[in-house]
Amino acid sequence: MADIPVLTIDGPSGSGKGTIAQLLAKELGWHYLDSGALYRVLAQAAIKHHVDLDNEQKLAVMAHELDLVFSLDNDTLKVMLEGEDVSTIIRSEQAGNAASKVAALPLVRAALLERQRAFRQLPGLVTDGRDMGTVVFPDANYKVFLTASAEVRAERRHKQLKEKGIESKLSDLISEISERDSRDSQREVAPLRAADDALQLDSTSLGIDAVYKQVRAMCADV
């Protein structure tokens, strides 16, 4: 496993990590894991099966047994839960917030660990999330921690949601993003933080192209 290269991109919601990770995976021809989608799908499954979002024991069992398939459809991640396409529904802010509640539960995180590590396959893996460089792949070859101000992240999210046909209010997004940031940063297990050996980038006033260039330069030897 350890000789299969991994590049991790961690950071808060809306920092651009997903976009950068997908571009890199495509250019390098590596596998891609959107780890946040796992937590989003689990929360969606909980809502579907009327399981409370703080029922740790039950959610951990569900996390082990989750009938989930990821695939790429025209460069867009397609997510199937129990045979149903949930790609759009899991992207709402409510789904993100529900995901961050289940993600705070230690047994849930433990249950998803092996599932995430199984994505490490040749020729390599690009992955994004909150704890990819710190907990899931601490031995990753390249680590990035991407951030940006909450306002800029909310604006980006607003635009993204609009493109997907999902209505949202900017002021709601700012408070939801801030609430999610503090829950993700303050939880006891695998809180959102940069790995000591991560390249830290602030994309508040940087476009996607500029961020991409810097990250690509970091792994120029690939």
Contacting positions for ligand C5P (CB under 6 A): 13, 35-36, 39-40, 96, 99-100, 103, 129-132, 180, 184
Residue 5 CB, nearest approach to ligand C5P (Å): 19
Residue 165 CB, nearest approach to ligand C5P (Å): 18
Cβ nearer to ligand C5P, comparing 28 with 93: 93
Residue 186 CB, nearest approach to ligand C5P (Å): 11
Residue 2 CB, nearest approach to ligand C5P (Å): 20
β-strand partners of 34: 128
Cβ nearer to ligand C5P, comparing 3 with 139: 139
Could you give the angle at which helices 35-48 and 93-102 cross, rounded to 10 degrees?
90
Cβ nearer to ligand C5P, comparing 28 with 91: 91
Q: How far apart are CA 13 and CA 5, in angstroms?
A: 25
Cβ nearer to ligand C5P, comparing 7 with 131: 131
Could you give the angle at which helices 56-65 and 106-117 cross, rounded to 10 degrees?
10
Cβ nearer to ligand C5P, comparing 124 with 129: 129
CA angle 213, 201, 134 (to 5 degrees): 110
CA 163 vs. chain centroid, Å, equals 19
Residue 221 CB, nearest approach to ligand C5P (Å): 26
What's the farthest any 2 CA atoms get from each other in the chain? 48
Per DSSP, 126 falls in state: E
Contact at 8 Å (CB) between 108 and 56? yes
Tell me how far CA of residue 5 lies from CA of 90, 121, 127, 138, in angstroms. 29, 9, 11, 12
